[in-house]
A and B are shown apart, each in its own frame.
Chain A
Amino acid sequence: MNILVCVSQVPDTTTKVAVSADGKTIEKNGVKFILNPYDEYAIEEGLQLKEKFGGSVTALTVGNDSAKDILRTALAMGADKAVLVSENGTADTFGIASAIADYARTLNPDIVILGRQSIDYDSFAMASMVGELLDIPSISMVSSWSIEGTNITAERDIEGGKEVLEAALPCVISAQKGLNNPRYPKLPDIMKAKSKPIDTTTASVSEARVITKGMELPQTQRRGIILGDGENDISELVRLLHEDAKVI
């Protein structure tokens, strides 16, 4: 089975966000970049498919040179090959999806696996866009699935329950938490991954379809009324919720 796993590099979840001088992006100085947490599930799923069906796992990221770090993590976990599609930071979601699809056409994978969202822009769009560009089915936020022959049965979370879906390979899926337990790379594998080759190609990025006009830090306008735990405090809270906030 020819498996393509797409990963992205994102600021650590605990990053304190500041707006950079351009007023449109975050200040990257001092920010620690990590492998997008959902992509760990995607890599693990790719490796488990290979263990079950044979084949190879290619890890791909679209980004700049610093994104090689996360490709090395994928190699240390067990990916066979790593590809950096280099891009100078001007691509929007569609541009990234196009770069992934362009590379996928040369690889002709049976399955493309992504994390359900990257935790920087949280668009949840990549699986559907890549699926559409490759003209193959896609299923987002898969929490469990099985493959029999070329038939896929998958479950995904929806409001108030789960959907059970059917599709066929080739297919794009995005991984939800709970799909598996990502393995930790072992130290010798981390060391070996440092010297493994990373293929580099350059994305041909078309004009962005969506542009950012500005970025700001949200102003929290919370009431901030903090009470104690006495009977009167609790009564006062209920009164405030009823008469002031009018939520009960």
Chain B
Amino acid sequence: MKIIVLLEPSANGIKRSSLECVTAARNLGASTIIGYMYGGEASSANIAGEYGINDIAHTPSSEYSSTAAATSLAQFVKSEGADTVIVAANAAGKEMAPRVAVKLGAGYIADCVSLSVQSGNLEASRPVYAGKAKITVSVTTQTAVYALRPNVFTARKAETPTTVTVRTFTPQLTANDTRVKVKNIVRNEGKLDVLEADIIVSGGRGLKGPENFHLVENLAVKLGAAVGASRAVVDAGWRPHGEQVGQTGKTVSPNMYVACGISGAVQHLAGMSSSKVIVAVNKDKEAPIFKVADYGIVGDVFDVLPKLAEKISVVTGK
């Protein structure tokens, strides 16, 4: 097995979701693993050495184009004769990976939550039907592209770090390859996004109104968490759509998900049921959220959240 892992550059190195892909690739026992980075600074790749890969190809690019990135990655995979491509199933990965698969005549498996080698063949499993079922799949093609759900695989440093050698890969691009261009990125400044957070505190209809969300925000501050919301409160205009967790919002897998005043409709569970630890605060002890919770407090959010925030603050020092 010869694996190419897409390494997405971040402000200070490589995105954690890409490093998770590196660890997943190493766990498969591949003969060769090569990193490929499109755009960013070549020096960003150095951190990958700590995670056990030393051979990295870099294509400099000043303007991001998902189509150009897909063409470049596909050409690199061909030039290396690799059979397996692994990318993170984040916004950029989900956009470009299906194109890479079509270009390579490869099977594409989206949103993998596990990868394993079974009698010499790579098998992946992934949730379907909003997480109500899970399928095991494999490809019938020579080449395969896997997109891994972020924050499900763990990024582990290698026991002995290696020194990274970055080589430049120059793809053959035509004008057609740059027909989609990112002109601008608008960051939600000073606000942690639910897709990037280790801990999420979400509020639902039990908060009774937008003016009470400070209770959720305060608990989030004490936990260093992002603020999330249920569909009901987003539809009611209390919170922005970017915070919505669930089937029509974002799918998240944080280390801890705290659901406050959220009953736990199946559409909400679809977006958060792969969280590692789930905590629920709800005054209705029959609420479905308690069926998926590791820890629950049956009580009124107005009474419980301030006390919880205070006690957590003692532990976290925030």
A211 beta carbon closer than 8 Å to chain B? yes
* Complex CA distance for A234 and B140, rounded to whole angstroms: 52
* Complex CA distance for A92 and B279, rounded to whole angstroms: 37
Tell me which residues from 93 to 117 in chain B have a Cβ below 8 Å from any Cβ of chain A.
94-99, 101-103, 105-111
* Complex CA distance for A120 and B131, rounded to whole angstroms: 10
The residues of A that contact B277 with a CB separation of less than 8 Å are: 241, 245, 247
* Complex CA distance for A135 and B137, rounded to whole angstroms: 28
B126 CB, nearest partner CB in chain A, Å: 8
Residues 263-300 of B, flagged 1 when their CB comes within 8 A of A and 0 if not, give 00011001001001111000001000011111111111
Residue count of chain A within 8 Å CB distance of chain B: 85
**CB < 8 Å neighbour of A163 from B132, B182, B248:** B182
B307 x A231 contact (CB < 8 A): yes
A187 beta carbon closer than 8 Å to chain B? no
B61 beta carbon closer than 8 Å to chain A? no
B244's nearest neighbour on chain A, judged by CB, is A177
B315 x A238 contact (CB < 8 A): yes
**CB < 8 Å neighbour of B139 from A37, A177, A209:** A209
B268 CB, nearest partner CB in chain A, Å: 11
* Complex CA distance for A92 and B300, rounded to whole angstroms: 47
B129 x A209 contact (CB < 8 A): no
- List 6 A–B pairs whose Cβ atoms lie within 8 Å, in order of A's numbering: A37-B247, A123-B111, A137-B180, A159-B196, A162-B185, A241-B279
Query: Which are the 9 A-B pairs with shortest beta-carbon distances?
Result: A229-B299, A209-B107, A128-B98, A158-B91, A125-B98, A160-B193, A123-B110, A17-B132, A226-B296
What is A's interface to B at a CB cutoff of 8 Å?
Answer: 11, 13-17, 19, 24, 26, 37-38, 92-94, 97, 119-126, 128-129, 131-133, 135-141, 143, 153, 156-168, 177-178, 207-218, 220, 222-229, 231, 233-235, 237-238, 240-242, 245, 247-248
